[in-house]
Amino acid sequence: MPDPMSVASGLCAAGALLSSWQLRRRSLRAEAEIGHLQAELAAERHAASHDPLTGLPNRRAFYRLAATLLTDAAGQPLIAIVLDLDDFKQINDRYGHAAGDQVLICVAERLAGFAGDNLVARLGGDEFAGLLASPTVDRRWIEHSTRRLAETVAAPIRLGGRSVQVTASVGLAPVTGPAQLTDALSRADAAMYQAKSLGGRRSPRQLVDSVRLAER
């Protein structure tokens, strides 16, 4: 006949083992739930600060990140960029909004590639902005960078079976501190609109469709 004390001891051990297993399961479930909630929170934060189409920071995030970069720059001049596509409505009217979205995604990728590790953002619509570290604020460097960025954006874009080309008006302005950010963006914006108004004399501003050109 089994020893009652041994039986009781065995039952206690089994109960302790079961309790420990249940606690472990609850702990794992709690850890999984916390991980899930943290992932959801991170996704919500990302969605709140990033443009859903291009993945770039949005307007609110741009101003916050730019202010931080300017604070950390310790007086080193940075270059504010404002970029706006010319006659972007033509793309939506001629090819549809899905094609327009593809153009915006392509422009965002090209701007990010041009900027490298620097901050770029989509402010809304077909307007983008950036903050570039620069070795100089020399006018010739700014003019050269403006021209190079405009040429980068204007490279042909494949849309289905055709190739289209869009132009962009670009404005750059130096900025040396957080307090000057708004003013620098205003000056860059003014330079961008000046470039847009002079576009007809500089280069074609309209949407260029390679298929249509080939038909002429």
CB 123, CB 131: distance < 8 Å: no
Here the tokens at position 8 are 């009781």
Catalytic residue among 51, 84, 86, 126: 126
Q: Is the dihedral of CA 110, 114, 118, 124 positive or negative?
A: negative
Number of H helices, E strands in the chain: 8, 7
CB 120, CB 172: distance < 8 Å: no
CB 174, CB 78: distance < 8 Å: yes
Distance in angstroms (rounded) separating the CA atoms of residues 216 and 209: 11
Q: Within 10 A of 59 (CB to CB), how many other CB atoms are there?
A: 15
Q: Which of 126, 113, 142 is nearest to 86 (CA)?
A: 126
C-alpha to C-alpha distances, 199 to 89, 170, 202, 210, nearest whole angstrom: 17, 11, 5, 20
3 is a catalytic site residue: no
Q: Which residues of 63-98 are buried (b: 16+ CB within 10 A; e: fewer)?
A: beebeebbeebeeebbbbbbbbbbebebbeeebeee
- Residues designated as active site: 126
